[in-house]
Structure 1
Amino acid sequence: MATPSRTHLVLIPSYNTGAKVYETVREARAQWCPVWVVVDGSNDGTAEGLQRMAQDDAGLRVWVLPRNQGKGSAVLHGLKAAQAAGFTHALTMDADGQHPAALIPSFMQASMRRPEAMILGKPVFDASAPLLRVRGRRISNGWTDLETLGAGVGDSLYGFRVYPVAALVAVMARQPWMRRFDFDTEAVVRLAWRGVKPVNIDAPVKYLKPEEGGVSHFRYGRDNVLLTWMHTRLVLEFVLRLPVLLLRRGLRRPPFQP
């Protein structure tokens, strides 16, 4: 098992992912310590199973929320607890086996080299990736590029990332959104507005079939409406923020030298 870190932890929100969450947690624990799991109102019995795992593993902590509140809310619960415990950075990863636990150490090391930045996974798709999902994220990425003035966000939706805890908690405390599926995209946009630079690292993503234990709570209609509403809000706010963003960018540029 990995040596415990006092600054960086792995944070896994989980909702009705079935037995796959146990495999995900074991793989994460083999790479890092500590690992925290926030069970977001699951009713599939995994909350009890995870709590039993934690009883025998000092590097694993489990929170169980009384009802499903959404991915962003579950992450925020973990971030607040992490901040209270003195952690400065959190790597978020999904509980459903899509994200590469083997890359946790390299992402954490990148964060330690650049603690002021957000370390963003840039997905490398294989043949299992649904074409509709791949094409749909290109649209979201295009809007994100506009909203951040081309800040360099490699992918707006891939949730395998290391965030500066204090900055993200501050961002989420100031508005009521980004509590559900809209969390990943809105987090990088608002952090970029705050001046947190992205560092992109390629990472594979797997779309598991049901017979492989894959579970997806993404609903094309419902969640695309949510993303459309999110980008509408962000574009409107971006227009209002544009003078300040342009001023900040201008101030960061080095003076012209002939």
Structure 2
Amino acid sequence: MTPSDSGASALVIIPTFNERENLPKIVGRVREVLPEGHVLVVDDGSPDGTGQVADDMAAADPHIHVKHRTGKLGLGSAYLQGFAWGLGEGYDYLIEMDADGSHPPETLPEMVARAKARPIAQGGSALVIGSRWVPGGRVVNWPKRREILSRAANVYARLALGVGVKDATAGYRVYNAEVLRALSLENVNSHGYCFQIDMTLRVDTAGFRIEEVPIVFREREIGESKMSGNIIFEAMGKVTLWGFQRRMRQLTGLFSRR
């Protein structure tokens, strides 16, 4: 079933790797709160059989789609492939969501409504982020060390890049298809943690509006987190480079106008 068949305008993209137990739960909650929306599972060849679980759900529900990949190719490339598929199928809004239940689907209707509130040309939001670090947002059951790392990474990204977003690393997002078409996604080669920062920077640099909606982020109950301190520190190295490059472009533009 395509968007034109069902009247759907939103596609929720869920990358998976070994999420056999979590996937049916999160997809069920998404389908409940967005009954007209569609779900695309992008599975990286999960050895635990997640791909087969996704296929079984798709066979039972025409709103669910599955893309199989041959190995663990990374979060960034999973979303980029999901974006490409969703844009080709004509969805108006493309949504990023984790499979582990940390992103509350119950916030989706509000996030999609914010994205739909006004056209981009009239100052509407091109990107709506489910944010942990704006007033009303919080985390539950996170180790204190991980919370400190996330907060510090976001403060550093905000200062280094000159972007006003409080949760640039957040992976819970609603993109207007219009902004994704404008961003030259073929040039994005970021992976993992820094993919979200990279995309935030690109949207901001292009002059589009970014809005943050508070969410309650809960640590996964089943399986292991794929995040580590090393991943965060590696991403911050790239942020330093991007910040330097952005400042140099700004200075070059300033001097060229004189």
- Does TM, normalized by the shorter one, top 0.5? yes
**Cα gap change, 1:115 to 1:217, in 2 (>3 Å):** farther
Q: Percent identity?
A: 26
TM superposition score normalised by structure 2: 0.84
1:17, CA displacement in angstroms?
2.1
Which amino acid letter does the alignment assign opposite residue 68 of structure 1? K
- Match among 129, 138, 144 for residue 131 of structure 1: 144
Greater shift, 57-66 or 182-191, is seen at: 182-191
Q: Secondary structure of 1:182's partner?
A: helix
Cα RMSD of the aligned pairs, angstroms, is: 2.3
Q: Is the Cα–Cα contact under 8 Å of residues 207 and 214 in structure 1 kept in the other structure?
A: no
- Match among 82, 85, 104 for residue 78 of structure 1: 82
2:72 matched to 1:68?
A: yes
Map 1:1-258 → 2, pairs under 5 A: 4-32=6-34, 33-116=37-120, 117-123=126-132, 124-150=137-163, 152-168=164-180, 170-171=182-183, 173=185, 175-208=187-220, 212-221=221-230, 223-243=231-251
1:100, CA displacement in angstroms?
0.3
Q: Is the Cα–Cα contact under 8 Å of residues 122 and 158 in structure 1 kept in the other structure?
A: yes
**Cα gap change, 1:138 to 1:61, in 2 (>3 Å):** same
Q: Secondary structure of 1:58's partner?
A: coil
**Cα gap change, 1:115 to 1:103, in 2 (>3 Å):** farther
Aligned to 1:251: none
Which amino acid letter does the alignment assign opposite residue 39 of structure 1? D
TM superposition score normalised by structure 1: 0.84
Counterparts of 1:41 and 1:219, CA distance in 2: 22
1:169, CA displacement in angstroms?
5.5
Counterparts of 1:140 and 1:245, CA distance in 2: 28
Structure 1: runs of 5 or more not aligned: 248-258
1:97, CA displacement in angstroms?
0.8
